[in-house]
Amino acid sequence: MKDKLKIGLLGLGTVGSGVPTILKEHQEKIAQVTGMEIVIAKALVRDEDEKKRQAEKFDIQLTTDIDEIINDDEIKIIVELIGKVEPARTFITKALENGKHIVTANKDLLAQHGSELVALAQKNHCDLYYEASVAGGIPILRTIANSLAADNIQKVLGIVNGTTNYMLTQMVTAKKSYEQALKEAQELGFAESNPTNDVDGIDAAYKMVILSQFAFGMNISLDQVDTHGIRGLSLDDVEMAAHLGYEVKLIGSSEYNNGSIAVEVGPMLVAKTHPIASVRNEFNAVFLESSGVGESMYYGPGAGAKPTATSVVSDLITIAKNIRLGTTGHMFNSYSHDTEITEDKNINGKYYFSIEVPDKHGQILRLTQIMTEADVSFEQLVQQKSDGTRARIVAITHTITKEQMKRVASEIKKADGFKLLTIFKVLEDK
């Protein structure tokens, strides 16, 4: 008979109910690798009646009182799956103060209060693991912290929001409307309870904050991520991108440059030949450029009950092993570096501009003048058929700085009769 390792589960929603499923389905293997039987002793829910059937199925005791879990001496690990900052932050703080180890999938919390919670875990010699907070079922944090510990990462590109990737795929391949695609992502359980965080890029920005900590050891705040979402994305741009050989993807990017990093989230044009362009639907991928390994990509489901619960249970297994070996209290990510943000004049990239102009002669000349004054040149230039009064011009620049891009944008906005519709960063395949 193996020793029992009792855990408390906070939340029995999509991922919450995936955890007992994985623990049950993979029971034998988990018991063999940990030397223990991991048992969910109690689960915190809002409404016991609503979750009664699930509780009976997995033989879990339900409670609506957090203290029943935090003050239970037999419970060694707390798995927090309620999401959002409060009350999760308060619950985890109290639990760490009570010497409980923590597993959480809460990216909102980790991105905004990670340093404080890591310090508290250290102070109380507790483990704090959060693999499931980034890219659901892809073991990317553990890969960066452990498998790539010897490497020097220069760039992280991620499709780290399943909802928007699902929406973009459906809008392009099945010609679904933005609203229809969002509704489906919600029904499939990928979207956040408030999908604003998905479509406005905030969920992806949280994940890029966490990835930047692991890849570069830098603690950036959310407002240091230049964040744009897909709300209002025009199908004209998506079609034009396809015509020019690109896919539009919501990309999170964190790039190292001489002691600093630039972190951005936004719709970008990705060359169809780039490995990340082929990532469809709710799938996520993290593409790394590093000096040792070179290019590597980690691909898998970024949301959903079983994939995310698998990451949660892997964290439980890590803690179980640490308890057995007496090695708890070490940080998930121990790499740390001074935090510095790259200035716009040192951020390089190609940019796609879509501009509406009056349909009369001399407009491309005016645009060329604006570009030339900012020392920017075109790589591609397309004028689309107009309705007789307004025309749309699409330009892709050669590599320029973000400072130049902003200068051009500001001049186009000021130019009489010009309307700046879109700016996307362009990612080429090397």
Q: Give binding residues for L-homoserine as ranges.
A: 192
- CA dist 62 and 198 (Å) reads 31
- CA dist 288 and 174 (Å) reads 30
Site for ligand HSE in 119-148 (CB under 6 A): 136
Q: Which is nearer to ligand HSE, 161 or 354 (CB)?
A: 161
Considering the rule CB under 6 A, would residue 201 count as an interface residue with ligand HSE? no
The whole-angstrom distance between residue 185's C-alpha and the CA centroid of its chain comes to 16
Known binding-site residue numbers for NADPH: 107
- CA dist 215 and 161 (Å) reads 19
- CA dist 324 and 156 (Å) reads 35
Contacts of residue 413, defined as CB under 8 A and 6 or more positions apart, other chains included, come to 420
- CA dist 36 and 426 (Å) reads 50
Angle formed at CA 43 by CA 38 and CA 44, multiple of 5 degrees: 150
- Of 16, 18, 114, 302, the one binding ligand HSE by CB under 6 A: 302
Contacts of residue 56, defined as CB under 8 A and 6 or more positions apart, other chains included, come to none
Q: Which is nearer to ligand HSE, 36 or 132 (CB)?
A: 132
Interface stretch with ligand HSE, choices 158-166, 269-277, 383-391, 399-407 (CB under 6 A):
158-166
- CA dist 168 and 164 (Å) reads 6
- CA dist 217 and 200 (Å) reads 26
- CA dist 315 and 130 (Å) reads 7
Contacts of residue 415, defined as CB under 8 A and 6 or more positions apart, other chains included, come to 366, 370
Q: How far is the CB of 219 from ligand HSE (least distance, A)?
A: 21
Q: How far is the CB of 282 from ligand HSE (least distance, A)?
A: 7
For residues 95 and 70, is the Cβ–Cβ distance under 8 A?
yes
Interface stretch with ligand HSE, choices 185-193, 209-217, 248-256, 285-293 (CB under 6 A):
185-193
Phi/psi of residue 379, nearest 5 degrees: -100, -40
Q: Which is nearer to ligand HSE, 198 or 315 (CB)?
A: 198
Considering the rule CB under 6 A, would residue 333 count as an interface residue with ligand HSE? no
Longest pairwise C-alpha distance within the chain: 85
Q: How far is the CB of 65 from ligand HSE (least distance, A)?
A: 28
Q: Which is nearer to ligand HSE, 188 or 420 (CB)?
A: 188
Q: Which is nearer to ligand HSE, 18 or 349 (CB)?
A: 18
Considering the rule CB under 6 A, would residue 163 count as an interface residue with ligand HSE? yes
Q: How far is CA 146 from CA 151, 220, 299, 309, in A?
A: 10, 21, 18, 21
Q: Which is nearer to ligand HSE, 40 or 305 (CB)?
A: 305
Q: How far is the CB of 237 from ligand HSE (least distance, A)?
A: 22
Residues in the chain: 430
Known binding-site residue numbers: 10-17, 107, 192
- Of 190, 283, 352, 424, the one binding ligand HSE by CB under 6 A: 190
Interface stretch with ligand HSE, choices 87-95, 187-195, 352-360, 416-424 (CB under 6 A):
187-195
- CA dist 33 and 228 (Å) reads 43
Q: How far is the CB of 379 from ligand HSE (least distance, A)?
A: 33
- Of 8, 11, 158, 162, the one binding ligand HSE by CB under 6 A: 162
- Of 161, 254, 310, 318, the one binding ligand HSE by CB under 6 A: 161
Annotation says 207 is catalytic: yes
Count residues contacting ligand HSE (CB under 6 A)?
Answer: 11
Q: Which of 207, 249, 350, 402 is catalytic?
A: 207
- CA dist 28 and 21 (Å) reads 13
Site for ligand HSE in 203-242 (CB under 6 A): 203
Active-site residue list? 207
Interaction site with ligand HSE (CB under 6 A)? 136, 161-163, 190-192, 198, 203, 302-303
